[in-house]
Amino acid sequence: MFLWKNVSISLFTSFFIFFLFVFSFFVLVVLLYDCGCYLVDWQLFCICGFDVCFSILVDWVSLSFSLVVYLISFSVIWFSYYYMLGDLYVFRFTWLVVLFVLSMIFLIFIPNLITLLIGWDGLGLISFCLVVYYQNFKSLVSGVLTVLMNRVGDVMILLSIGWLVSLGSWNCFFLDDFYLGFFVGLCLVFAGMTKSAQFPFCSWLPAAMAAPTPVSALVHSSTLVTAGVFLVIRFWDFIGSYWMVVVFLQMVSLFTMVLSGLSALFETDLKKIIALSTLSQLSVMLFAVSFGFSFLGLFHLYTHALFKALLFLCAGCLIHSFSHVQDLRHLGSCWSLAPCVMTFLNLANLALCGFPFFGGFYSKDMILESYLWGEMNFLFFVFVFLATSLTVAYSVRLSLFSSFGALKMCSFFSKGEEDYNFLVPLFVLGAGALFGGFFFYFFIFEAKCIFFFPSVSDKNFVFFVLFFGLVLGCFLFLLSFSVSEHFWKFKFMSSFGGSMWFLQILSTQGLLSYPFNYFFGNLYLLDRGYFEVLGGQGLLSKLSLGSVSFYFFSFKSVMVSSAFVFFAVFFFYFY
């Protein structure tokens, strides 16, 4: 009865979110037809010449992004019936997810920095509750790391609010150049970097995989990590007027793109590979925005959300069916046990690689061709296309390991696709990954006259880079079978890449090991030590030790005196 009550509440929640999706879709169609934009500005109070307002902006950007959030939330909550079926606290989990989505909706529709903190802090707080949902030591460490990294971005937002007092406005479209504008723009970029896990704040993103897989699908597709990108896009008209901030964002996004791609090549945890893939694609979005292609960055944000949510749900199905094993080296021959899941997994991987006419092709290909079409820096050119080939390489490696690798499980293992309820969200997100790019391009972005005409050589060069990544992924898959485990160079590259160039050790264990050990020692020596030392057990142990010492020394003194008497008698007798 209790389990059925939880399931019914989850069903009601998912259908209510689907109703919001349909309503937002019709409102978006009306706005695109009228080319309208509505701003609701409610003045909370006025003090010393500046107004503190609660603003709501309804335009095509906020409505289209809310469509993506509603669709993915509907699919994730539906999928949680299958994944969290045996959990006694599904009711708590569902409402945490609903609050998480609500915080993201606040962030999307509010263009004011002061009231935007409602959604911004809500995402940070509820993400901590979801990461520590399983309540073990690993989840606690991951949750603390996540919330502390995100607090840096919260501080940057607060600093921006304080500096913007002299301007008297906090709305994204009313900001203008003023004497503190450079610092405000830099703080906004830092806030976006912490939420989107850019270098050097990128170590919390793989650690957040301690959360349940439906939460990971929601976080890495359309909510927490995309909040930083959306903030930068909203305020880009103000941030882009400071060229030093723009160059800084370009360099950080390029470095994070290559770092995450190389790390994913040597990672063996299934969920962490997908997390590092999210980190790479977030860098692609910020790179596109920093080069002036803000609409293309937003376009890639939409398409990426659909196929990345599908990728995480497929990974959750494999983990749930294979006795909660996440090591990629053990998950082989999945075609025979989960053919439907593997079909959608490969579909999402093809969309991630930018396979022609899939979802990611329309956005990712346009970003690369726009960069080739404009002015190029050779160093940036090498980094961008190296990161693109690495994306294809780790996607191909993931598909090959899961499809053709060896199944290293017990001999009586016979689980598979027993429950077909999870196929509904997979079909929904699969359609989004397959046709989402086409829909957003022809019905939204083309209506905004966002198009260009790349040359044939630019198109061929992009396909050559994708083919190079395919060859690299196949080579690494074959190398894993032929290289010995004692080959020290390969082991060093695995540890170097798997730890994100030792960034996880430097930002987590290396910094936290001494404080944790220090506080752990103080807990037992000071807080609990008084009762142990001064209580009955402590006094008994001390008296017992004293009695043993007294017995030892008294026995020792008797032996020494007896030996002295013996040698004295012996000496006087023979002398």
State pLDDT tens for residues 340-389.
888 888 888 888 888 888 888 888 888 888 887 777 778 888 888 888 88
Render 350-384 in DSSP notation, one character per residue. HHHHT-TTSHHHHHHHHHHHHHHHS---HHHHHHH
**Same domain for 85 and 30?**
yes
**Same domain for 372 and 444?**
yes
**Same domain for 267 and 328?**
yes
**Same domain for 18 and 166?**
yes
**Same domain for 448 and 569?**
no
Distance CA 80, CA 6 (A): 11
Q: Which of 445, 467, 482 is the last residue of a domain?
A: 482
**Same domain for 246 and 311?**
yes
Encoding tokens for residue 325? 């094993």
**Same domain for 106 and 185?**
yes
**Same domain for 465 and 550?**
no
| Domains of the chain: total | 2
Burial class of residue 235 in the structure, from the number of CB atoms within 10 Å of its CB (0-12 exposed, 13-18 middle, 19+ buried): buried
Would 499 be classed as within a structural domain?
Answer: no
The pTM of the full predicted model, rounded to 2 decimals, is 0.83
pLDDT digits (tens, 9 = 90+) for 538-564: 666 666 666 655 555 555 555 555 565
**Same domain for 439 and 538?**
no
Distance CA 196, CA 486 (A): 37
Would 513 be classed as within a structural domain?
Answer: no
Would 351 be classed as within a structural domain?
Answer: yes
Contacts of 334 (CB under 8 A, 6+ apart): 318, 341, 342, 402, 403
Q: Which of 464, 482, 500 is the last residue of a domain?
A: 482
For the chain, the first-to-last Cα distance in angstroms comes to 102
Would 519 be classed as within a structural domain?
Answer: no
| pLDDT value, residue 489 | 47
| pLDDT value, residue 538 | 65
Tell me what percent of the chain is helix, strand and coil, each rounded to the nearest 5. 75, 5, 20
| pLDDT value, residue 190 | 92
Q: Which of 482, 505, 537 is the last residue of a domain?
A: 482
| pLDDT value, residue 542 | 65
Would 206 be classed as within a structural domain?
Answer: yes
| pLDDT value, residue 405 | 63
| pLDDT value, residue 568 | 58
Sign of the CA dihedral running 61, 62, 63, 66: positive
* DSSP-assigned beta bridge partners for residue 57: 39
| pLDDT value, residue 506 | 66
**Same domain for 423 and 556?**
no
Report residue 355: phi and psi, to 5°: -65, 140
Domain that holds residue 566: 529-574
Supply angle C-alpha 392, 394, 398, rounded to 5.
115
Residue from 71, 352, 365, 93 nearest 213 by CA: 93
Would 501 be classed as within a structural domain?
Answer: no
pLDDT averaged over consecutive 10-residue blocks of the chain (575 residues)?
A: 53 82 86 78 75 83 90 88 75 85 90 87 88 82 83 89 80 73 89 87 82 83 86 88 89 89 84 87 90 86 90 85 76 76 87 85 83 77 86 87 67 54 82 85 66 66 81 77 50 55 64 69 66 64 61 52 57 54
**Same domain for 316 and 206?**
yes
Would 507 be classed as within a structural domain?
Answer: no
Is the bond preceding residue 200 a cis peptide, omega within 30 degrees? yes
**Same domain for 558 and 451?**
no
Would 491 be classed as within a structural domain?
Answer: no
Distance CA 79, CA 422 (A): 5
